[in-house]
Structures are given as structure tokens and as C-alpha cells.
Structure 1
Amino acid sequence: MSDRLPIPGPGERARTIAARGPATLLPPLPTLPPVAGECQSDRVAPLLHHVHADGSATVLLPDDQVAPEPGTTMVEIVDLAPVPLREPVRGLLWITGRLAPVSLDEARELAVELVEERPDPRLLDLGHGATMLRLTPLSMVVADADGTHPVTPEAFAAADEDPFCHQEAGWLRHLELSHTDVIHTLRRHLPDRLRGGHLRPLGLDRFGLRLRVEAIEGDHDVRLAFERPIATLDELSGELQRLVGCPFLALQGGR
């Protein structure tokens, strides 16, 4: 029996990063994903991006940044920690594929769908200085502290984003700013060698709470596993009560 703590699968991690991270476009490397922090002078930040359930991506670019011909491009989506850390990047999702402009009529139909899912005033620029393009995926790779894994379109489509995907940032910032006592209490779950470092909330998913220990000799990430996967605020509150050992803890005011 494995002693490895349960974690979200690659498809779920990819869906979660795709749902919330900022994106850039860049030329792909021939065989390997780019190295985090590597200088890319020809990166382009789209005005707006959206990754669909089939792994395709829609991007909105200023007209003067649209290539005249379709080409192979990589979309890099970054998962950033919601609190200020020395090393803020928690994960990366790379989608490589063919990028081509979408006809204006089809782009307007897509814009209506996007507005229903995630309203954004930048969509009003469509046809007025901005062009919509679609990336048809050829490959997808997710990389984070749990490893680097290819993700098939089928695995991406079958997965769901984490149930706390869009609330996580507010909750963790609230935990850091307003509940330093809770953070201090969580220190008891750390190995003895890490208890002297600066403890920060790093991440939250349905399987557990992740902490970052910032120490002089370097950073260390620790996962505190929940007793079972959770999906609701009540279940989250109960698991935090168990981890802290306080029956009166309630996570409120996180937004």
C-alpha cells in the first residue's frame, strides 16, 4: 500500500490552472516544455483567454499582434500563489497547437458563450481593434510540485476543476491576514526540522491544505491531507477544525 498522500490527478490540476491563471503565447520548444523563469523576448500576453473543455483555447489579441498566417504556438498558463511568496509560481500548464483567426461571425457567437460563463468588458473590443483566435491543441503538459505530466484531451475533458478553484485565493489571503493563530497552530503538523521557518498558506484543494515553509536554506512545501476528499464549505470548515484541533474554528469572511 502506498504512503503517498492523495492529490488531484493531472487532468484535474490542468483544468484548475486553466480556469484561473494568466496566460502568454510563445513559440514552443521542439521536444520539451519551457523552463520556468526562462527569458522569452517574444512572449505575447493576450487581452483575454479561455480554455474550453476539449482543451482548445480562445484568445483575444490586438489586431497588430495577429500573425497573417496560422502557425504553431504554445499557450502558457501560470498558477500563481494568492499570497506574496519568494517563489510565487505554483504550477504551469502548456498547451501547444495551431493558432488561427476565427471569422468575425463565429467569434461573436463564441463571445456570447464566454459572456454567459465569465462576463468580461474586454470582449467588447472584438471587431474594434481586437481579433479572436482559436488554438487547436496538439499536446498538453501540466507541471507543478507533484511532477510534470502529459494530459490527453480525453483526460482534460473528463476532469473537473477543483471545487474551491475560484474561492481559494480569497480564503488563503484571509487565513494569512486574519488568522495568524491558525497558521501557528498548523505548525505542529510539520517535521521538526521545518518548524522554525516562516509558515505561509500555499494552496487549497479538495484533498488537503498546502503550506510553504520559507527558511534561510530554502523553501519547502508540505501538504496536510484531509481525512477524505471534500467539496463544500461545511466540509472544509470541519477539516480545518480537525487540523487545528479547535472545535470552534469557522472559515468566514474569505472574500
Structure 2
Amino acid sequence: MPSAAERTRTLVQSTCSAVLILPGADGARPDELMPEARVVGTDGEVFLLFPADAPAVRAATHAQDDELPAVLELTDVAPVAVPDRIRGRAWVSGWLTCAPGIAEPGHMMLRLEVGEVYVDDLWGDAAVSPADFAEALPDPLTAYETEVLQHLAAAHDDHVQGLGGLLAHRADVRRVVPLSLDRFGLRVRCRDTAGRSFDARFDFPEPVRDVHGLRRAMRALFDAAQN
């Protein structure tokens, strides 16, 4: 399974929604606290791009040499319609400063020095040290996950439903929907004949490194379901 550090780095570097929580920013609209872009630096710091007049930029500028505590809250929502669509949340807390000279005119890059990291997702909840966060890499399938899951649900529903046949201990599976994808396997959300939901996980024979390996792994999985 992916480590908690890898899962958190994946969320930070994915397209899931993110909002910056700052002291004294209660009056700001939620969209004003959402960075336009985010990237993790070589030392594990998180760089956040905001318009130059954003509340977060004003707060960081006003703080100057003082440490401005901040929390980057990330919410991961399944890209297909399933019950309980929130797949996970992560919180990256630390200290915020301006990083002038990096962003284009009209914008400011803010630097979040990471102090604490916590993730709560489909795998469970865990704290992550700043060092482990800095050393981790995002899942290589992050850029493809949304497209692949939506394609499976829209164009290959028959194959997806066939996965229910691999759940020998659950003969009451009524509906199967793709829920999440990573280099280690595919997770689906099932509904039984009583209308109750549960998740099932199908691991790949070996970790997938790119989209070509993913095609082979998915083909092998569907073939196994048909046999």
C-alpha cells in the first residue's frame, strides 16, 4: 500500500481542492483562500500561488519577519458518482512567508514551511513527519486517475460490473463503481442487494510505473474477472 507520506504528497500535488486556513482571515470568502497553483519544493516546503491582493498575501506581507501559522487543508472527492464521495482529507500545517520574485506580475508565491502533516483517507489516518513528506514522491498515476476512472464508469461499465465476480465471499453484489486508482491497484465501491455500500480492493501483480503498465494491469484484471 502507499505510505501515508506518499498519499499526502499525492493529494498536495493533485488537482483536489485546497484552502488555506489563516488566523484573522475569517471574513475572507473561501475562494479567496484557494491557491491557484501549488507545488512542493526540493526541501519539502509547499509553494502556493495567489493573486497579489489575496488575503493570504496581505497577511503574510503584514507579518514580515514574524511567523504566520497556516494550515493547508486538502479535500479529495471521487471523480465519479458514488455514495460518500469524499475519499480523504489532509492537513499540512506550518509557517507562511512571501517568496517574491517567483510569480508573474499580479501574483505572489507564498512559501509554507511544513511543521506537521496529517492524512485521513480510504487507507486510514496517520501523522507524517516533515522529513518523510519531503522525501516522498506522488503516485505516478495521479495525472491520469480522474480520466481513467471516468472512462471506466462511462465506457467500460460491463467490465467494471464483472469485477463483482471476483468477490467470491460476496454473492450479493448488485452494483460496482470505480472509486480510486493508484500504482498498487484499483479500489471500487460496491452496493449489495440490501442497498448497503462497501469497498473492495484489487491489487495489481506489481506496482505500475506509467500509463502503459496501467493498461496491461487493467487488461489482466478484467480478463481474470471474465474467466
Verify same fold: TM over 0.5. Answer: yes
What secondary structure is seen at the aligned counterpart in 1 of 2:13?
helix
Offset of residue 132 of structure 1 = 2.2
Name the structure, 1 or 2, with higher relative contact order (CA <8 Å, separation 6+): 1
Number of residues of Structure 1 aligned to a counterpart in Structure 2 = 210
Cross-structure match for 1:117? none
What secondary structure is seen at the aligned counterpart in 1 of 2:89?
strand
Cross-structure match for 1:85? 82
Aligned-residue RMSD, C-alpha: 2.6
Offset of residue 146 of structure 1 = 1.1
| Residue of 12, 18, 25 corresponding to 1:18 | 12
Q: What TM-score results when the alignment is normalised by the length of structure 2?
A: 0.81
Cross-structure match for 2:157? 180
Offset of residue 189 of structure 1 = 2.0
What secondary structure is seen at the aligned counterpart in 2 of 1:167?
helix
Structure 1 stretches lacking a partner, 5+ long: 1-6, 29-39, 112-125, 249-255
Identify the structure with the greater strand proportion. 2
Please give the alpha-carbon distance, in whole angstroms, between the structure 2 residues aligned to 1:246 and 1:192: 17
Q: Which AA in structure 2 matches 1:58?
A: F
Please give the alpha-carbon distance, in whole angstroms, between the structure 1 residues aligned to 2:6 and 2:134: 9
* Aligned: 1:46 with 2:32: no
Offset of residue 195 of structure 1 = 0.5
Q: Percent identity?
A: 31
CA contact (8 A) 2:13 2:38 kept: no
* Residues 164-188 of structure 1: per-residue CA shift (max 9 Å, x gap): 1101111111111001111111111
What secondary structure is seen at the aligned counterpart in 1 of 2:143?
coil
Structure 2 stretches lacking a partner, 5+ long: none
Please give the alpha-carbon distance, in whole angstroms, between the structure 1 residues aligned to 2:117 and 2:196: 30
CA contact (8 A) 2:70 2:93 kept: yes
What secondary structure is seen at the aligned counterpart in 2 of 1:245?
helix
Offset of residue 194 of structure 1 = 5.2
Please give the alpha-carbon distance, in whole angstroms, between the structure 2 residues aligned to 1:207 and 1:226: 6
CA contact (8 A) 1:212 1:221 kept: yes
Q: What TM-score results when the alignment is normalised by the length of structure 1?
A: 0.73
